Amino acid sequence: MSDAVRIGILGDFNAEFRSHHATTDALQHAARKLKITVEAEWLPTPTLAAAGADKTLETFDGLWASPGSPYKSFDGMLKGIEFARRRDWPFLGTCGGFQYAFIEFARNVLNISDADSAENNSGSKNIIIYPVACAVPDRNGDAPKLSGVVPEIRLRPGSYLQSFYGKDKETVTEEFFCNFEINPDFEWTTMEAGFPVVARGPQGEIRAIESPAHRFYLATLFQPQLSSTDKKPHPLVLAFVQAAADWGKKKLDDSVLE
């Protein structure tokens, strides 16, 4: 049996997306720092909606909901995230993965059955993900995005997120590349569903949530993978990979005892 830590990346890999290459690279940065082997596999969203998907997801030690919305399968991405939440698998969601984590718990925990993103043009009355309020022009001249390095993300004191950065950290700088964020009219859903806000932007915008009830559940609008390097792995990816390694070991130990 392999000793490698297996990470399933929920999303539709696109070789043209910098963030997709950065996701796989960041996992290897963390692996080398932790002196472990990480095997990462992209799981296309249509496969997550197929019969037997849970059996596939069970073979991984951690699940990362990647950037890249709109996904090929809306339902597939939600089902992958739901598996991580319900089964308490180590979970990290970034950018689009963060947005869909909100949609998943709004639908399946709070029973807002039509919770959706404005990106999908569904006509829902419960658009909890909407265009970024402080968008700036994309560097390539495309549609406006929250793009580039954004300083002064405020961390919630005492949160797991803050502990990953360092307990003395009050603010951090991270990189964004996104069109959509959380509609503040639906901020109440985070606490109601048990996912407190643990990072905010300069105007109080939601930038990260976590779950104190799960072994590891963290979702960020920013993309930590974009600033990870081999010499300086990103602390959030390090924490995620360590949690996946710990869970993989526990699963193995439990199977031996059965």
The CATH code of the domain that includes 212 is 3.40.50.880
In a domain, 162, yes or no: no
Q: What's the CA gap between 142 and 222, in Å, rounded?
A: 19
Is pLDDT above 90 for 138?
Answer: no
Is pLDDT above 90 for 195?
Answer: yes
Is pLDDT above 70 for 95?
Answer: yes
User: For 119-128, what is the mean pLDDT?
Assistant: 92
In the chain, how many domains are there? 1
Percent of the chain with pLDDT over 90: 82
In a domain, 142, yes or no: no
More confident call, 37 vs 146: 37
Q: What's the CA gap between 128 and 184, in Å, rounded?
A: 8
Q: What's the CA gap between 74 and 52, in Å, rounded?
A: 17
Is pLDDT above 60 for 142?
Answer: no
Claim: this prediction has a pTM higher than 0.85? yes
User: For 48-58, what is the mean pLDDT?
Assistant: 97
pLDDT for position 206: 95
Is pLDDT above 90 for 184?
Answer: yes
In a domain, 199, yes or no: yes
More confident call, 134 vs 209: 209
Q: Please count the CA atoms within 13 angstroms of the CA of 232 that sit on its side-chain side.
A: 5
In a domain, 171, yes or no: no
Domain residues for the domain of 9 are 5-132+181-257
In a domain, 154, yes or no: no
In a domain, 90, yes or no: yes
pLDDT for position 152: 83
In a domain, 54, yes or no: yes
Which pLDDT tens digit goes with each residue over 19-38? 999 999 999 999 999 999 99
Is pLDDT above 90 for 220?
Answer: yes
In a domain, 165, yes or no: no
- Token pair listed for 139: 């560097």
pLDDT for position 255: 72
**At 258, is the pLDDT very low, low, confident or very high (cuts 50, 70, 90)?**
low
Q: Tell me which residue of 72, 88, 222, 82 sits closest to 161, measured CA to CA.
A: 222
